[in-house]
Structure 1
């Protein structure tokens, strides 16, 4: 609705995990590097965790773009499955035909292991990517570990990428999953963006959409981090709503007041008030500490 008004050729703040819009902050670069390194190692699992909306799925899409052409990928986006359902889904993703009447853990496992062996013989790598992996049941994770048992003298024939929220870290600390935890060759926890990174993130996404960050006032840009705590998905929702409100009001620039109004619509008035109060408390604490230090130094100089 506001694209033509602000001279944009695409929605810069869509929440779809489009890797073209991925802002490679230092921590996102580290996350991608850890996943890439882990897939090159001989182990069976790599893991990326982070809070909701920090950009885990988008990083995983970028990872898939960078995989060699001789890679077959199976993706599971809804892992709330039983062990047998997960194996059937892996078969579907890898294009393995099977007889539903013979469905059993052993039958599906044999079918998958046979495909892994054939892929290896033909020079193909096989990667299984599981999003929202914190929902996996322990017995399903154990079944995944058993799938990675097939290996050559140098490497596992199946590499598994686990993408999930921090609860996944806690899940893997369970005693019955210690063997799987020991097979994770690379792990990374993705943190929210810092205040400077939020500004660079907004500028990057607007630039991809042929726009410019100047359509947000400096005060509005500073406020984005205070409201969103640096969570990319919340930034997208907030900025998209702020642009819509600015278009409705026929403002040439997104003002701080409009951004706050957008925040109240997205997060609620109580959340916005709480986060603004929290920021004020931080500044008051800083001022108090600085005042005490200056007073102490002044007292020593006087003495």
Structure 2
């Protein structure tokens, strides 16, 4: 009996391909898809959707492209290799839209494109340019997109432009050189990692889509998968698929925590590195504290011994040591001044916990000074500072948004 037959499944529920059939409408994913449809329906100019690798950007895109509503009502140019010069980009778009040009003179290209847009507008047909991995667009091509957005009539935009990319795209558009382009992006969406409840529902959702079957993921197993994957759908799929295989080899229809740990040993090096950090982090803290305590105890014992010897020597000479003498100065411990975080971006979010998923407590403006009272580093390497605000409230702020003084 093979793997799928054992679990009574029609297909692998956790394969890594961006299949729109398995699109899971989490809160952020559903919001992004609705925004995508909205900008096309209302003929808004620009739409930007960003998300970390593995959060489902390509699946979202394929879901939109497979929407029956737009198959006959829109002409779509999909650019998957954005490292193109402005001229190459324009020719790629026209080729996707089946627009014929007599020569490659840029003025002729723009004229032919505008005529095409007007013809489609008259019959109520949308024209959309979608750029995947848009963070890789050269500066001059990004500027060309801004110029293309000027193609409009007195009443409406003739062209909708969709930028899909990683979070660094948002950072690029915040720079002064792209201020005008950033102002034209009317709708934005961010794909966030899944919460614990969403992860549990996501696993069940994909199992049902694959035929439901007889496989059962225990709740403890789902919690462990969420902890190891940090809610990233691609990593959830990866570890869930391998855990099911481990359960199959164990001839168990229940996927348990031991199957997940077995699976982690057989996935990619980067995933193993991440999970090892998660598992061993508390032990590292314990060992470090033990070493620090031992060293501190030895230092104190040594200083006490030296002071006793010095006191004994002075008493033998009939001299009483002064309490605040210069000789005692090296033993005075000076308290280190607290560090201060100064906001280095236009606005930064202070959150309840050190996580991008955590609730936002407050937004603080540029040059606001905050007292640092604690630090935390995620297994991904992202660092957070716990800060106290002027109103006395405390929260966490990402290190990338601040600069540190008084160190």
Taking structure 1 as the reference length, the TM-score comes to: 0.85
Deviation at 1:35, TM superposition (A): 2.2
In the alignment, which residue of structure 2 is the partner of 1:63?
A: 64
1:271 alignment partner in structure 2: 274
1:207 to 1:146, Cα distance in 2 relative to 1, 3 A: same
Counterpart-to-counterpart distance in 1, 2:257 and 2:230: 16
Question: Greater relative contact order: 1 or 2 (C-alpha under 8 angstroms, separation 6 or more)?
Answer: 1
Partner Cα distance (1:255, 1:50) in 2: 30
Q: Aligned to 1:96, what secondary structure does the other structure show?
A: coil
Q: Deviations over 1:67-118 (max 9, x none)?
A: 433111111112121111111110111011234xx32433322222221112
- Residue aligned with 2:3, SS: coil
Question: How far is the alpha carbon of 1:277 from its aligned partner?
Answer: 4.4
Question: Structure 1 pair 238/200, CA: closer, same or farther in 2 (3 Å)?
Answer: same
Counterpart mapping for 1:106-121 below 5 A:
106-121=107-122
Structure 1 contact 41–155 (Cα < 8 Å) conserved: no
Q: Which runs of 5 or more structure 2 residues have no equivalent in the other structure? A: 285-352, 354-407
2: CA distance, partners of 1:232 / 1:51: 11
Distance, in Å, in 1 between the alignment partners of 2:66 and 2:204 is: 23
Provide the C-alpha distance between the structure 2 equivalents of 1:157 and 1:279, rounded to a whole number of angstroms. 57
Query: For structure 1, which segment, 246-255 or 12-21, has the greater mean C-alpha deviation from structure 2 after superposition?
Result: 246-255
Query: Between Structure 1 and Structure 2, whose CA radius of gyration is higher?
Result: 2
Q: Are the structure 2 counterparts of residues 122 and 41 from structure 1 closer, same or farther at C-alpha, using a change threshold of 3 Å?
A: closer
Residue aligning to 2:37: 36
CA distance in 2, matches of 1:104, 1:59: 35
Deviation digits for residues 169-219 of structure 1, max 9, x if unmatched? Answer: 011112222221111110011110011110000000110111258522332
Q: Is the 8 A contact 1:216 1:253 kept in 2?
A: yes
Structure 1: stretches of 5+ with no match in the other structure: 287-303
Quickly say closer, same or farther: Cα 1:212–1:201, change in 2 above 3 A.
farther
1:17 aligned counterpart, secondary structure: coil
| Aligned partner of residue 154 in structure 1, secondary structure | coil
Aligned with residue 85 of structure 1, among 61, 83, 88: 88
1:8 aligned counterpart, secondary structure: coil
Contact 1:72 1:94 in 2 (8 A): yes
1:223-270: CA deviation from partner (whole Å, max 9, x where unpaired): 110110000011111112222233234333222112112123224443
* Count of aligned residue pairs for this structure pair: 281
Aligned to 1:229: 230
Alpha-carbon shift at residue 133 of structure 1 (Å)? 0.6
TM-score by length of 2: 0.64
Note the aligned Cα RMSD (angstroms): 2.3
Q: 1:279 to 1:182 in 2, by over 3 A?
A: farther
1:20 correspondence with 2:10: no
